[in-house]
Amino acid sequence: MGTLQIVKIGGKVVDEPSALKEVLYRFSRLSGKKILVHGGGKGASALAERLGIPTQMVEGRRITDAETLQVVQMVYAGLLNTNIVAGLQALKVNAMGMTGADGNVILSRKRPVGAIDFGFVGDVQRVNVPFVKMLLEQQVVPVFCALTHDGQGQILNTNADTIATELAVALSPYFSTELIFTFEKDGVLRDVNDAHSVINRLSHSEFLRLKKEGVIQEGMIPKLENAFRSLQKGVKKVRILNALNLSPPDSGKPIGTTITPE
C-alpha cells in the first residue's frame, strides 16, 4: 500500500500571494502521491461585499443563496484554482485543477432545509475513486476547489475541509492516507489570543469539552469534526498546522496539532 498525503490549505494563506507562493513550494517538496484542496472563503466574502451581496456564516459554514453561489464559483473555480495550478506547474508539479463536477469525481446532495436553510450547499454522497486513483497513478496532482455537483446540473458549495476529508476516507482502503489541514496559525490553540498555546495532541473527548467551554468555536468546529470522523473511517493520521510548516526540517519538535481518537 502506497502513501498519500491530502493537504487542505485555507485562511489568510490563500489570500496573500507571497504566503501562497511559499506554501505551494513546500507542497511541491512533499514526496509521494498527493492531493491539494483549497478553500477561499475570505476572497469570496470580499468579492460579495464589493457586489453588495451579504455574507452569512453559521459555525464556520457559509449560507449560499443563488447570488452567493455565483460568487464562489467565480472565486473558487476561477481565480483561485487557476492561479494555484499555474503556481504548481511553475514548480514542476503536474497539477490539474478540479471541481467535484470534473470527471464526476464528487457527487453531492443539496442539504435539506432544517433549522437552518444553507441554500446551495452540498453534502458529499460519493467519490469517484477509480478516476482519482487513475490520476494519481499517472503522476497527476489533483487540485480541488470547494465545489461539487448533484449530477443534475447543479453546482453546490461544499466545505473544503469536508472535501479533503471525503477524499481521504474514500482513498484510505487503497493508500496509507494522511490528512493535513493547514491555515495561518500553528495548530489548534487553547487560547486564541496566545499564538503559543498550541495543543499538541487533541482527543475527541477533549474537543467536546473545549467546544462546550467556547474555547473551540466558529470555523475550527467543522474542521475538527471532519478530522475525528476521518480517523474513524480509516485515515491513518490527521494533523492541523501552520501552512508555512508544511514541509519543515526534522527538528524533533512537535509541529501543529495531532488529532487522536481518544
Q: Which of 41-55, 163-177, 209-223 holds the top average pLDDT?
A: 163-177
- The larger pLDDT score, comparing residue 183 to residue 156, is at 156
Mean pLDDT of 210-235: 90
CA pair distance 149, 252, nearest whole angstrom: 43
CA pair distance 191, 110, nearest whole angstrom: 35
What pLDDT score does 250 carry? 56
Which residue do the cell numbers 463536477 mark?
101
From residue 125, give the alpha-carbon distance in Å to each of 156, 165, 227: 12, 13, 18
Mean pLDDT of 227-232: 95
pTM score, whole prediction: 0.92
Choose among 181, 195, 216, 243: nearest CA to 14. Answer: 243
Q: Is the dihedral of CA 48, 225, 97, 65 positive or negative?
A: negative
CA pair distance 73, 79, nearest whole angstrom: 9
HSE value, Cβ hemisphere, 13 Å, CA-based, for 257: 28
Angle at 73 between CA 69 and CA 78, to 5 degrees: 165
What pLDDT score does 248 carry? 52
CA pair distance 48, 225, nearest whole angstrom: 28
pLDDT-derived band of residue 217, with 50, 70 and 90 as boundaries? Answer: confident
Which residue stretches of 91-219 are H helix? 129-137, 160-171, 204-212
- The larger pLDDT score, comparing residue 165 to residue 40, is at 165
Which domains can be identified in the chain, with CATH numbers?
2-184 (3.40.1160.10)
User: pLDDT of 230-256, one tens digit each?
Assistant: 999 999 999 999 999 997 555 556 689
- Residue 174 burial class via C-beta count within 10 angstroms: exposed 0-12, middle 13-18, buried 19 and up: middle
Question: Could you write out the DSSP letters of every residue in 4-48?
Answer: EEEEEE-THHHH-HHHHHHHHHHHHT--SEEEEEE--HHHHHHHH
